[in-house]
Amino acid sequence: MPELTTAIGGVSRLFETENLPTTILAVVAVLSLLWLVWTLTSTSPHRPPLPPGPRSLPLVGNLLSLDPELHTHFAALAKTHGPITRLWLGQKLGILITSPALAREVLKVNDTTFANRDVPAAGVEATYGGNDIVWSPYGDQWRMLRKICVREMLCNQTLDSVYSLRRQEVRNTVKHFYGHAGSPVNVGEQMFLTVFNVITGMMWGGTVKAEDREGLGAEFRRAINEMTGLLGMPNLSDFYPGLARFDLQGIKKKMNVLAKKFDGIFESMIEQRRKMGGEESKDFLQFLLQLKDGDYKTPFTPTHLKSLLMDMVVGGTDTTSNAVEFALAEMMNQPQILKKAQQELETVVGKDNIVEESHINKLPYLYAIMKESLRLHPTLPLMVPHCPSESCVIGGYTVPKGSRVFVNAWAIHRDPEIWEKPLEFWPERFIDNKLDYSGNDFNYFPFGSGRRICAGTAMAERMFMFLLASLIHSFDWEMGEGEKLDLSEKFGIVLKKKDALVAIPTPRLSSAIMYD
């Protein structure tokens, strides 16, 4: 059987180890084949069939044909096999959703069934056993964590109360760029550091000092990039649960090292805050430490506390900073859009004043730019995979319990049957358009939909708008001589620019005092 030989050889390469015992491969091959045969033959004759999909090999399924850029690869499969597609990922069945109608079936009509997560091994390691708001199973624990985040930590009233912190960090960033005027600067790195400082300031009051801005900010960004990279990396431990104990790719080990670094920071901050006794402290950490077991149906434990800190630091920094970087790059690629946005800011703010958050709601064109950037470059292109708690029928096909369901927001946002000029960055499409981030319209849902919709939408919107408005109001932006602007994407659980945006800022306000 040449196909089986090819499959086993492919698995050997995937394992990336030279000394894997032959007996393990043989046992895995036999068990996987038996499992596949049982799965395909045990379907009830009265149940609709599985969705269509590409031919798969024994043992490995479609793993060997996966393209690293999963969002574009999955979109191409949908063009061949339809808006609901089956993909065998080793022993795991993947279901690809690539149409608004089917996304609605998954995320709204059958929301409760699909409210669980298929937690990857890397996610378990990074979030204290999956006890955070992202990976926690749907139930009382998740409801408790969600309530704390949405009603207490990230509600508009709380965000209003820490505006001075956001303002200070944005002004620090503007001052940093002013100090490097005329020279190339790494925009994404500085956006990351700004958001990181805002979030850590909100969490426990600690920020990266000006003298440490370059080195420490880059170090934190590398660590978080590595974490999100490991979360999005295909892992044999997820595809073959029986092999999870061996951690053949070392993903669990690598994630454990990173998680321990952050855990050390969290422990240090918690200890410091406890010693302070809450005096003159109104940050989130103090609020979390004051929660009582009786406040919620599920007890709030130290593990939950650190899991929420991890969610905020890792989930809130890379996402917003990458989104701002994409938006500025798209505007620089079409200077007329940048000029139009700057003219709007001059009308609302003026060149003898600085941007405040109170101006944001008066900037409809900048809002359109944000929406268009999130359409073209959704932060989580495949969202966080869903996992049905029971088998159900979607689009006339059976989606088995425990399968991994990917909703390709990236592909839906670029569907030519939905969007005019879908590949063009054209903010005007959102002028007088009522599409928002509520998740009720499945043509456009950059923050997800249903019970698992992003808990940090309000925070992300404020930071994105305030940062981008400040950057383009305070500076003109251009590439260095001979440099070419590249808008290519790099897939991950968080979408990134393939090449960092390195651009030159030129001050445009009326007085140097505006930059102090």
**Amino acid identity, residue 365?**
Y
Q: Which residues make up each annotated binding site for heme?
A: 454
Residues 29 and 8: beta-carbon distance below 8 Å: yes
Q: What is the DSSP letter of 210?
A: G
Rounded Cα distance between 274 and 271, Å, is 5
Burial of residue 25 (number of CB atoms within 10 Å: 0-12, 13-18, 19+): middle
Contacts with 375 (C-beta within 8 Å, 6 or more apart), sequence order:
413, 419, 444, 446
394 is written with which tokens?
A: 């979607």
Rounded Cα distance between 335 and 333, Å, is 6
> Angle at CA 461, nearest 5°, toward 457 and 467?
145
Give SS3 for 496. strand
Q: Which residue has the tokens 């959102």?
A: 430
Q: Which residues make up each annotated binding site?
A: 454
Rounded Cα distance between 318 and 70, Å, is 19
DSSP codes joined into one string, 46-102? TSPPPPP----BTTTBTGGG--S-HHHHHHHHHHHH-SEEEEEETTEEEEEE-SHHH
> Angle at CA 83, nearest 5°, toward 370 and 61?
110
